[in-house]
Structure 1
Amino acid sequence: LISSCTRLRAPPVYARLVFGSVTFPNVFVVDSMFRYFSQMDLGNDALRLYEQRSHFGIMPDAFSFPVVIKSAGKFGVLFHALVEKFGFLRDPYVRNVMMDMYAKHESVESARKVFDQITHRIGSDWNVMISGYWKLGNKEEACKLFDTM
């Protein structure tokens, strides 16, 4: 039902009502709510839900962090330390979402720090970093990184 709220862009009151009716939410239900917050650009609500998730005894995993980071929007930077603490920067999907989040919020330097920590880069790592530079108008650095690839 929460996924339907997301697809239909239902008002937050409906999604919260559905979520509140779940007696024992699991990681799938919580992540669905994060997707809703992401779609509706409700970063503050995502932060509150993240705080509540420990109350439910649900710890984030490699699949949860990308959803959490996207839903938190500009607050996604707050999750960087947790991603590192749990060792999820080794996961390509997590680190790519992290770099993309930094680039979208015009902190390409922070995205580059994540990129530089990657010992075994794959195509998507390069793609996210190059497109981050390109979108922010640093075409010279994007081309230089492409040539290094």
Structure 2
Amino acid sequence: MKPLACVLLWLCLAVHAGAQPMGDPSPLQYRSAAEEARFHALTAELRCVQCQNQSLADSNAQIAHDLRREVLKLMHEGRSDAQIKQFLVERYGAFVLYRPQMDAGTALLWFGPGILLLIGAVVLVLHVRRRARALPVSNDEDHSQDERPW
């Protein structure tokens, strides 16, 4: 019976070790409906730094909860949307923005997919042309001997 108790104890400890600390469970407090609409619009434009495929508004990750509180705190301090975005970019990089500004550092984000698509199209065209040249030209006479009537 002791080995089973030890296994259960280790499982409980393992579950506890993977748990995230709980953040502030109180709901966000908005000063007005306009502030709430601005908050939701702003968090929809920001990417969760943990999930990466979800907006800050949609993510349930603990860091997303913390960042939403931070965004609201910055709004209460009177910062503009641009200042809040700049704060998050300085902290987490341009990846936090769904639509990063066009500059030398983000050119690959803007043009990378198009460049990869163009390279793929060129490779495909070159491959098809090489295969077309490599195939022997067939004459109808050569195939007439291979055909069997059924």
TM-score tier by shorter-chain length is under 0.3
TM-score (norm 2): 0.27
The structure number with the bigger radius of gyration is 2
TM-score (norm 1): 0.27
Structure with the largest fraction of helix: 1
